[in-house]
Chains A and B, each alone.
Chain A
Amino acid sequence: MSYIPQGEEERARMLAALGLESVEELYAVLPEEARLGRPLRLPGPLSELELERELGGLAARNADASKAVCFLGAGAYDRWVPAVVDAIVGRGEFLTAYTPYQPEVSQGTLQSIFEYQSMICGLTGLEVANASLYDGASALGEALLMAANVTGRERFLLPSTLHPFYRDVAEAYARGPRLRLETLPEEGGRIAAGAVSQVDETVAAVVVQQPNFLGLIEDPRPLVEAAHAGGALAVLVVDPVSLGLLASPGELGADIAVGEGQPLGSHLNFGGPYLGFLAARERYVRRMPGRIAGQTRDVDGRVGYVLTLQAREQHIRRERATSNVCTNEALVALAASVYLATLGTRGLGEVARQSALKARYLAAELGRLPGVRLAFDGPFFDEFVVELPQEAEAVSEAMLDRGFLAGLPLGRFRPGWERRLLVAVTEKRSREELDGYVRALGEVLAAWASR
């Protein structure tokens, strides 16, 4: 069998050295009742060639972004990944290493984490960042636990403009410690101006997503001020690419920033692995969840890197740890670092600029189709909601037949939104694809209108 580098002869020598007749004897400790007295009923074994056929067949049944032009977003984005990124993260020395428990032989991983933390601080305008969390939604969950820990309070204000899946995950994290999640009202797709009156001295943190689930740009400043006035923390959930153009959480006065790092050099992967990033003000560093790499020196005075501030972590504090995070998303964080280094400040700004301008172009062109209009007023980044003259689910299905992943129908999330479609545009979409989308949607709607 291909992954076991031992033949009969070696096996016999090992058994002889142990004074055993067969491996069976090593399992003598298993109680009779606990033994599986039959072979596992599993498919296989398959040779590599058969495996390629089998999984290749499954993969071929999916309409991935190379087969259908992707206008889906809502937390996962079809962005361009420079070839350098896959080349680096595919190196066996990064790919097949474990968590850097022996720093002397893990400097590659440790220094890359330190650089990743530096880049996340650069993006968010905050002072400290951890080595990564599972995804944007669970990073928000961890941020809530962190804010409860910092303030000793348990009341949280979350906007209804937050991604509904983020809300679900936040609730899962809040249930154990019995944190109370309340909802900030909205007005025209954004947090209502009157929401600030909900902030008082009992609130642990106020959360704002920027841009929000509907793609719209919020003005978090009044809520951040109100939070600080009441002794609460301000938590921003941000799209990292938008930070090439939009004010950073640091500039907006946030205490904690979290977000989904998938758009930074990772593929869609049907939802994972993704990358949760978390950054904060320096004074909260000892309350932060997850691993952190720090710079230090070795006995010869050379610069080196270690995992540090481990007193917060589960292998030291056990039940009093700041979180249980152990394995995180180190390789995805490495991809983000390589991506950000490759693009640099100017490149990231250009990705953000082109995405925003292409989204505006598409929104304007769609607005010319009869019965189609933008559902909300106000500035957006690269994602927007259109109101259609037909049910968005049916439109999305018809667009798929024409080779387009048209966007996310919102009727599944709120009653009354059956005709709304959330459309995302990245820098990767060419004018030809944008014009093709407008043409296809026009044809789909015309076919309905003529029925």
Chain B
Amino acid sequence: MGEPLIYELGGPGHRGAELPPLDVPAPAGAEEEPLADLPAGLRRREAPLLPEVSEPEVVRHYTRLSEMNYAVDNGFYPLGSCTMKYNPKRNDALAALPGFRDLHPLAPERASQGALELMARLEAALAEITGMARFSLQPAAGAQGEFTGLSIVRAYHESRGERREKVIVPDSAHGTNPASAAMCGYQVVEVRSDARGGIDLEALEAALGPDVAALMLTNPNTLGLFDEQTLEIARRVHAAGALLYYDGANLNAILGRARPGDMGFDIVHLNLHKTFSGPHGGGGPGSGPVGVVSGLEPFLPRPLVVRDGDRYRFDWGGEGGTARPAAGGVGKVQAFWGNFAVAVRAYAYILTLGGEGLRQVAETAVLNANYLMRRLAGSFELPYDRSCMHEFVLSGERLRKETGVRVLDVAKRLLDYGFHPGTVYFPLIVEEALMIEPTETESLATLDAYAEALEAIVREAREEPEKLRQAPFTTPVRRLDEVSAARRPVLRWQPRQAGQG
């Protein structure tokens, strides 16, 4: 059964909440018309169209909706490149402490010492984990981190009087990499991957030149492979006068093992909601801190938190006393200081594990991925037959050729088996790609059950392929018509016109 829209529930006069009665005297004439001093044209004519529902109707509606969601709390969610690990409950509780949750971002520094200290401590931890000098916690998500990082690249080259207009991205990059580069006004140059899944050094050499501002690299990359040539890539990029940017989406694999800073990266963004286990909320909030080597520190978004004796304060980078960022840097990318509540969770996560715990996270994630990859190598093709890092990419191309069943059908059928599928059709360079990231928070029993489900589906593909093309059968809705959704977009609820019934 579908759930009606909230607008279709309730009715006139249903109310979900009441304010206490007004307890101050209203100015004469303002009781009915609070903004009596306002020209009529600036007052609202039509009341905003909102639902009219009671509290139980609200609660039941959203509870029923929640039951139509798959989430980490209900099961295995091995969506490649998304690092959907378990989100510890304690961290949510800590972020909800009144001292954090109800703290105004513009409270005097004296009144927010605890929050500032937490930001400073998290920054120091992230710097140690990545080998960077300083971090800004301001970017609200990975993609905003990319935008910030590339803005730093631009500010850096401009400070040296150079105009470099190209950014290089590998063909295996996340879609946000080229989009962020374009947003920053850069021309995007794509370089191909070699037979082992790393960057093709010849293609890189051909692309590098005095007009190149930066290379954006995810390592391990979106094939789940560590680029063994990283150090050589860093040397060549730097020799060309460009900067090396690290997309931290896959940092989980190398925690405590290797650091982007030691590999020659100049700028790093992290995804706190991935590696450091902030719940993703159905698509955010995330948090995408950006770290830089020491020479790039002046270009970071402001303010940064600094320690002055036994006190913490905001440093705006400019003349004393001002609350605006100094010229020449990125300035600001958020009105305030970033997604602080996500930062609290990340810091709690780091404190829970410590350095040794983080290294175990990476090891277990890598072990889980390799175990599952080898179990599934018989059922699907392995386009790059090497040991993987924390995720791996399978190809369903042979299955498609032999049975007509596409990897999308396999993914939909997995839903009937009670599992969330991996990422399909990404990276773009693998035909019929299925990208699986089990993470460290899954047991051997879960991995085996997932493999058995996929093996059963491959058998089904050979025996009754038509059934798979119809899947799923057991989900709240079945395959949805995305074509007509885009061709005749219905993007909001509208009241029915009188007479239309």
Contact = CB atoms under 8 A, between A and B. Distances in A.
A267 B24 contact: no
Contact of B94 (A18, A42, A52, A302): A52
A244 B44 contact: yes
Nearest to A61: B114
B315 to A, nearest CB: 14
B247 to A, nearest CB: 12
Nearest to A75: B335
B34 interface: yes
A61 B113 contact: yes
A202 interface: no
Contact of B43 (A56, A246, A323): A246
Interface stretch (B203-211, B237-245, B415-423, B456-464): B415-423
Interface stretch (A135-143, A225-233, A443-451): A135-143
A192 interface: no
A118 B24 contact: no
B283 interface: yes
B356 to A, nearest CB: 6
A310 to B, nearest CB: 7
Nearest to A355: B34
Given A271-B105, A400-B108, A412 B350 contact: no
Contacts of A10: 443-444
A221 to B, nearest CB: 7
Interface in B463-495: 470, 472, 475-482, 484-486, 489-493
Interface string A240-263: 000111111001000000001000
B491 to A, nearest CB: 5
A91 to B, nearest CB: 5
Contacts of B355: 39-42, 44
Interface in A325-349: 325-332, 334, 337-338, 340-349
Contacts of A297: 480-481, 484
Interface string A107-136: 111011011011101110101110110111
Contacts of B71: 92-97
Given A55-B344, A62-B107, A176-B151, A134 B334 contact: yes
Q: Which of B15, B68, B284, B341 has the most CB of A within 10 A?
A: B284
Q: Which of A106, A349, A431 has the most CB of B within 10 A?
A: A106
B179 A323 contact: yes
Given A40-B358, A306-B480, A354-B22, A360 B182 contact: no
A188 interface: no
Main secondary structure of the interface of B (DSSP, over half): loop
A364 B17 CA distance: 29
Interface string B251-266: 0001111110011000
Interface range on chain B (Cβ under 8 Å from partner): 35 or more
A6 B444 contact: yes
Interface string B31-42: 000110111011
A82 interface: yes
Given A82-B17, A245-B34, A344-B15, A60 B72 contact: no
B411 interface: yes
A177 B185 contact: yes
B308 interface: no
A311 interface: yes
Interface stretch (B52-60, B289-297, B395-403): B52-60
Contacts of B420: 102, 105
Interface in B54-111: 55, 58-59, 61-63, 65-74, 77, 79, 82, 84-88, 90, 92, 94, 96-108, 110-111
B493 A315 contact: no
A358 B180 CA distance: 44
Given A99-B283, A272-B341, A338 B24 contact: no
A298 interface: yes
Interface string B438-466: 00111110000000000000000000000
Given A324-B147, A345-B48, A413-B324, A31 B228 contact: yes
Interface in B101-153: 101-108, 110-115, 117-118, 121, 125, 128-129, 140-144, 146-147, 150-151
B99 A62 contact: yes
A413 B39 CA distance: 30
Contacts of B52: 344-346
Contacts of A368: none
A309 B350 CA distance: 39
Nearest to A179: B185
A392 B271 CA distance: 39
B176 A59 contact: no
Interface in B1-31: 2-3, 5-7, 14-19, 22-27, 30
Q: Which of A42, A117, A127, A321 has the most CB of B within 10 A?
A: A42
A299 B469 CA distance: 12
Interface string A67-101: 11010101110101010101111111111111111
Contacts of A11: 367
B58 A92 contact: no
A21 to B, nearest CB: 12
A219 B39 contact: yes
Nearest to B24: A361
B184 interface: yes
A318 B374 CA distance: 32
A278 B387 CA distance: 45
B156 interface: no
A115 B101 contact: no
A292 B482 CA distance: 13
Interface in A200-218: 217
A319 B178 contact: yes
A329 B478 contact: no
A150 interface: no
Given A93-B74, A111-B65, A298-B478, A168 B331 contact: yes
Given A25-B387, A298-B480, A342-B58, 8 more contacts: A59-B114, A96-B280, A108-B66, A114-B493, A172-B332, A271-B335, A330-B282, A348-B50
16 contacts: A23-B366, A42-B355, A45-B353, A90-B92, A92-B71, A97-B281, A117-B492, A134-B141, A217-B35, A247-B41, A302-B477, A318-B175, A319-B181, A330-B281, A343-B17, A413-B323
